């Protein structure tokens, strides 16, 4: 055991320090494959120096304080399912696996909150709340594999976000280990008028300001009524009009997904809650969709969609999670696509789509799916290079096709920024979008850097992320 591992073993115990090459390899990448990290190839060259698996907040604090004294990078690691490379140890250092902090500490049916540890997997939270007649509000595809703190740190979006918002909206309080080892706790009340709400320093911050060790989350009563509906539209614009009108009226279904693909344009809806509210929302939605030119195709397509919503993550768990990096990447080679999730002011979305279409068409990049997920401002595109069916070399892709896809993706992401929006609403920045963040943040980036320098003068917390 080297010096670094030996020092850490004194804090967490030798069995919770991993330094074997195979362990360092599998911990040093998430679900982002090198193919899609167009401008960050070099980020995959570096492995972590060591992985530690602390048992509690006190051990996290000691590890972080040790790292600060010795200027060693610390990268918080939840489920390792991020799709942007947020956990890549681009400067080496210590991967801090929060997986052993996985307890549900308290379920409060009156406050409708759950206090949980950072590394708890979302599915385990669902299972723990079920007997209390409660459920979490965050329901991403990745429920079976993603952790509480990972989803807070990326401010992820899920299937119930139309009603409950992204994961960050469900954070009531946090316990966080700061980069010098001190522990802060915010209070479990819904709002304060006593200074800024520090939860927001850590929501969506990809671990650059500290390590979340506990969270008190808003949780929700299991619905007494649920109604599924599927509306079809002649085109995306008509569906968009219906979604906008629903938003303006304040109708908040649990699930809202307007998707255009080769099958047509479908609006998947699920209404959950108390009986009278569900009936009223469904009835009014039907007339809104009817006025926008939509027609009802019955609940079945949405029922099936809902039933299969976690399949991709179950498949990922079975075929990729915890496997060596090369093996994980092998699954993706030859599958050249990108999935983009922009957010724009609602009044710019349709214009954005037309302008992005023209840009991609000029590069012979096809869009196989357009989507609004949970609200009119959240717009996604699944893009594929036309005619890319060739398999070239071991990596199974043509470098020219990849370069063209990379350039096209950057064009449409920067277009979203230039039209007053942002390049990503769901998965974070990681290493994949790092090169575009500075132009999006402008002077805000200087303010972020000032905060970073004040809290983390040695720059140990997940260095090289969020441009900090
Ligand atoms: C099949 C599949 C489906 C997916 N579906 C969705 C989806 O529907 N919606 C969605 O939003 N995302 C989705 N994702 C992406 C991924 O699941 C999310 O980004 C998720 O939020 C990451 O959680 P994690 O626990 O795996 O975080 P990790 O990948 O471990 O970490 C993500 C980031 O958070 C930081 N972090 C982790 N733990 C802590 C902590 N304790 N303190 C501070 N920082 C921390 C890490 O350093 C990193 O920067 C999907 C991924 C896969 C593979």
The mean per-residue pLDDT over the stretch 38-67 comes to: 97
Tell me the backbone φ, ψ of residue 174, rounded to 5 degrees: -135, 150
Buried b (16+ CB within 10 A) or exposed e, 391-411: eeeebebbeebbebbbebbbb
Are 239 and 185 contained in the same domain?
no
Range of the domain at 215: 106-221
How many separate domains does the chain show? 2
Mean confidence (pLDDT) of the chain: 95
Q: Are 206 and 126 part of one and the same domain?
A: yes
Is pLDDT larger for residue 97 or for residue 385? 97
Residue 148 shares a structural domain with residue 216: yes
Cα-based angle 349, 355, 360 (whole degrees, multiple of 5): 120
- Confidence tier at 391 by pLDDT (50, 70, 90): very low
Separation between Cα atoms, residue 439 and residue 425, nearest integer Å: 16
How do residues 104-144 score in pLDDT, each as one tens digit? 999 999 999 999 999 999 999 999 999 999 999 999 999 99
Question: Same structural domain for residues 159 and 122?
Answer: yes
Residue owning the nearest CA to atom 32 of ligand 1: 150
Identify whether residues 261 and 185 lie together within a single domain: no
| Residue bearing the CA closest to ligand 1, atom 9 | 140
Q: What is the pLDDT of residues 322-336, one digit of tens each?
A: 999 999 988 765 567
Q: Find the CATH number of the domain harbouring 238.
A: 3.30.70.3450
Say if ligand 1 is within 6 A of residue 142 CB: yes
User: Is 370 close to ligand 1, i.e. is its CB under 6 Å away?
Assistant: no
User: Does the residue 423 lie in any domain?
Assistant: no
Is 19 a domain residue? no
The pLDDT, as a whole number, for residue 336 is 76
Are residues 204 and 111 located together in one domain of the fold? yes
Same domain, 241 and 136: no
Q: Point out the domain boundary residue: 277, 307, 337.
A: 307
293 Cα–ligand 1 center, Å: 38
pTM of the model as a whole: 0.97
Nearest CA to ligand 1 atom 19: 82
Instruction: Walk across the sheet containing 50-52 and list its strands.
Output: 17-18, 50-52, 94-97, 74-77
Boundary (domain end) residue, out of 165, 188, 221: 221
Domain identity same for 238 and 215 = no
Top mutation candidate among 87, 142, 255 for ligand 1, by most atoms within 8 Å of CB? 142
In a domain, 172, yes or no: yes
Kindly state whether residues 138 and 232 are assigned to the same domain. Answer: no
Residues 212 and 236 in one domain: no
Residues of the chain with pLDDT > 70, as a percent, come to 97
Distance 76 CA to ligand 1 centre (A): 11
DSSP assignment letter at 43? G
pLDDT digits (tens, 9 = 90+) for 434-459: 999 999 999 999 999 999 999 999 99
Tell me the C-alpha distance between 48 and 45, whole Å: 10
Tell which of 221, 244, 278 closes a domain.
Answer: 221
Q: What angle do CA 432, 436, 442 make, to 5 degrees?
A: 140
Give the CATH number of the domain where residue 126 resides. 3.30.465.10
Same domain, 248 and 206: no
Q: Is residue 173 in contact with ligand 1, taking CB distance under 6 Å? A: no
157 in any annotated domain: yes
The model's pLDDT over 72-85, given as tens digits with 9 standing for 90+, comes to: 999 999 999 999 99
pLDDT, residue 395, reads 54
pLDDT in tens, 313-369: 999 999 999 999 999 988 765 567 899 999 999 999 999 999 999 999 999 999 999
Inside any domain, residue 364: no
* pLDDT classification of 151: cutoffs 50, 70, 90: very high
The better pLDDT of the pair 337, 302 is held by: 302
Ligand 1 centroid to residue 78 C-alpha, Å:
7
Ligand 1 atom 18: residue of nearest CA: 82
For residue 173, is it within any domain? yes
Q: What share of the chain is helix, strand, coil (3-state, %, to 5)?
A: 40, 20, 40
Judge if the beta carbon of residue 141 lies within 6 A of ligand 1: yes
In a domain, 249, yes or no: yes
Span 187-211, mean pLDDT? 96
Distance 299 CA to ligand 1 centre (A): 31
For 210-241, how does the pLDDT look when each residue is reduced to its tens digit (9 = 90+)?
999 999 999 999 999 999 999 999 999 999 99
């Amino acid at each position: 055991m080297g010096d670094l591992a030996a020092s850490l073993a004194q804090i967490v115990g030798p069995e919770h320090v991993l330094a074997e090459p195979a362990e360092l390899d599998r911990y040093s990448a998430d679900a982002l494959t090198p193919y899609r990290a167009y401008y960050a190839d070099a980020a995959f060259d570096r492995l972590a120096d060591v992985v530690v698996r602390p048992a509690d907040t006190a051990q996290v604090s000691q590890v972080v304080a040790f790292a600060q004294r010795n200027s060693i990078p610390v990268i918080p690691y939840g489920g390792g399912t991020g799709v942007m490379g947020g956990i890549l140890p681009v400067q080496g250092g210590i991967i801090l696996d929060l997986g052993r902090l996985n307890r549900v500490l308290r379920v409060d049916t009156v406050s409708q909150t759950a206090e949980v540890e950072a590394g708890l997997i979302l599915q385990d939270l669902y299972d723990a709340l079920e007997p209390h007649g409660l459920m979490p509000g965050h329901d991403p595809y990745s429920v079976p594999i993603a952790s509480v703190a990972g989803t807070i740190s990326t401010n992820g979006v899920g299937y119930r976000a139309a009603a409950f918002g992204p994961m960050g909206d469900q954070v009531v309080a946090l316990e966080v280990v700061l980069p010098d080892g001190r522990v802060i706790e915010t209070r479990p009340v819904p709002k304060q008028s006593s200074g800024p709400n520090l939860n927001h320093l850590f929501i969506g911050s990809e671990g650059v300001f500290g390590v979340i060790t506990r969270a008190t989350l808003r949780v929700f009563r299991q619905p007494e009524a649920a109604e599924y509906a599927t509306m079809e539209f002649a085109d995306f614009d008509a569906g968009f009009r219906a979604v906008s009108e629903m938003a303006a009226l304040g109708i908040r279904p649990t699930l809202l997904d307007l998707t255009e693909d080769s099958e047509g344009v479908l609006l998947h809806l699920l209404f959950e809650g108390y009986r009278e509210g569900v009936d009223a929302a469904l009835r009014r939605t039907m007339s809104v969709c009817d006025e926008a030119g939509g027609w009802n195709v019955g609940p079945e397509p949405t029922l099936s969609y809902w039933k299969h919503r976690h399949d991709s993550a179950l498949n990922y768990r079975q075929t990729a999670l915890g496997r060596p990096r090369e093996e994980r990447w092998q699954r993706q080679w030859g599958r050249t696509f990108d999935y983009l999730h922009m957010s724009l002011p609602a009044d710019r979305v349709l214009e954005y789509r037309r302008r992005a279409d023209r840009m991609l068409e000029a590069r012979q990049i096809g869009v196989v799916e357009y989507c609004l997920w949970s609200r009119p401002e959240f717009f996604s595109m699944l893009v594929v290079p036309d005619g890319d069916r060739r398999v070239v070399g071991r990596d199974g892709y043509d470098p020219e096709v990849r370069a063209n896809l990379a350039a096209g993706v950057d064009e449409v992401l920067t277009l979203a920024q230039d039209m007053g929006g942002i390049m990503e609403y769901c998965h974070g920045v990681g290493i994949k979008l790092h090169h575009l963040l500075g132009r999006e943040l402008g002077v805000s980036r200087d303010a972020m850097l000032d905060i970073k320098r004040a809290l983390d003068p040695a720059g140990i917390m997940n260095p090289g992320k969020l441009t900090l």
